[in-house]
């Protein structure tokens, strides 16, 4: 299953299962946050996340996905997404995007957050703030029958005034029994265009934003995506259900 095709709507009971998956994922982030500081290696963070997930009876969603070698994606500074955890020590002034997904009882949750390491420049702090706000701006427009373009446009509208580059080659996605389901969720678009999202739709919304242009490059490892101009990048993601009562963030 990919991000094209039919959207699989989830029942209230299924959304409850996804909520449990998202709650465990949030607990993983809460534990990681105790360790994210200058000097820690991205590999140590990966080991902590892997143990928590496996000990809870869940399964890391990224490990082995198309051959991905780790539980976390750890993307530092100009790295946008899909960085490998390893021996790199995080240093004061860096930022690291931690992206993690898991399956609990066959239901997937997916979330990402970019953390400042110690004190970062005002310019970088602003990038993190705006990117996180753009995620919440998207979530805020979700309701039954909202059009996909309206969601994408809300994300874009929160970013564009700052002159940042929105990454276009990578997108959000539907999520459920598979990590990547329909629909594809773009981080740019036009209000009142595209398909209508019914109640029961669950999506992972994940703006990726660069201080420079939105152009990307993939490193020789075949995975790590960086900004083509090497400018710092930020990435925030939540798994969100659209219900009759409005949006429910399953990974909050």
Q: Which tokens is 32 given?
A: 């990681």
Nearer to Mg ion, 78 or 237 (CB): 237
Tell me which H or E stretch contains 239.
strand 238-243
Select the residue interacting with Mg ion from 49, 63, 112, 135 (CB under 5 A): 112
Q: How far is the CB of 84 from Mg ion (least distance, A)?
A: 15
DSSP string, 99-160: EEEEEETTEEEEEEEEEE-SS--HHHHHHHHHHHHHHHHHHHT--TTEEHHHHHHHHHHHHG
> Assign residue 239 a region: left if phi > 0, alpha if psi is -120 to 50, beta otherwise?
beta
Q: Which of residues 233-252 bind Mg ion (CB under 5 A)?
A: 237
Count of residues that bind Mg ion according to CB under 5 A = 5
Q: How far is the CB of 61 from Mg ion (least distance, A)?
A: 8
Nearer to Mg ion, 110 or 181 (CB): 110
Picking from 65, 149, 133, the residue whose alpha carbon sits closest to that of residue 99 is: 65
Q: How far is residue 79's CA from residue 63's CA, in Å, rounded to a whole number?
A: 19
Q: Are 99 and 112 in contact (CB under 8 A)?
A: yes
Q: Which tokens is 115 given?
A: 């953390």
Nearer to Mg ion, 77 or 171 (CB): 171
Stretch that binds Mg ion, among 37-45, 123-131, 191-199, 230-238 (CB under 5 A): 230-238
Stretch that binds Mg ion, among 84-92, 105-113, 186-194, 219-227 (CB under 5 A): 105-113
The pairing of strands 107-116 and 165-166 is unpaired
Q: Which of residues 194-213 bind Mg ion (CB under 5 A)?
A: 204
Q: Is 110 one of the binding residues for Mg ion (CB under 5 A)?
A: yes
Q: Return the ∠ at Cα 237 (arms to 48 and 28), rounded to 5°.
A: 20
Binding mask 27-46 toward Mg ion (x if CB under 5 A, else -) reads --------------------
Distances (CA, A) of 135 to 126, 154, 230, 235: 14, 9, 23, 9
Q: Is 79 one of the binding residues for Mg ion (CB under 5 A)?
A: no
Select the residue interacting with Mg ion from 78, 99, 151, 182 (CB under 5 A): 99
Binding mask 137-176 toward Mg ion (x if CB under 5 A, else -) reads ----------------------------------------
Question: Site residues (CB under 5 A) for Mg ion?
Answer: 99, 110, 112, 204, 237
């Amino acid at each position: 299953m990919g991000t094209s095709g039919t959207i699989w709507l989830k029942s209230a009971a299924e959304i409850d299962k996804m909520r449990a998956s998202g709650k465990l994922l949030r607990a993983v982030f809460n534990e990681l946050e105790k360790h994210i500081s200058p000097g820690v290696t991205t590999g140590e963070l990966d080991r902590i996340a892997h143990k928590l997930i496996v000990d809870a009876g869940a399964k890391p969603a990224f490990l082995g996905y198309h051959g991905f070698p780790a539980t976390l994606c750890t993307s530092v500074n100009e790295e946008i997404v899909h960085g490998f955890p390893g021996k790199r020590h995080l240093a004061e002034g860096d930022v690291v995007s931690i992206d993690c997904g898991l399956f609990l009882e066959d239901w997937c949750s997916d979330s990402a957050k970019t953390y400042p390491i110690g004190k970062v420049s005002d310019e970088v702090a602003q990038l993190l703030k705006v990117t996180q706000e753009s995620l919440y701006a998207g979530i805020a427009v979700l309701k039954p029958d909202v059009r996909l373009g309206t969601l994408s446009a809300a994300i874009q509208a929160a970013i564009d005034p700052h002159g940042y580059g929105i990454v276009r080659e990578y997108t959000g996605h539907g999520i459920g029994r598979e990590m990547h389901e329909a629909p594809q969720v773009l981080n740019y678009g036009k209000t009142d265009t595209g398909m209508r999202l019914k109640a029961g739709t669950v999506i992972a919304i994940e703006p990726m934003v660069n201080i420079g242009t939105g152009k990307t490059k993939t490193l020789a490892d075949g995975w790590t995506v960086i900004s083509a101009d090497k400018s710092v990048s930020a990435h925030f993601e939540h798994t969100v259900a659209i219900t009759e009562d409005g949006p429910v963030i399953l990974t909050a």
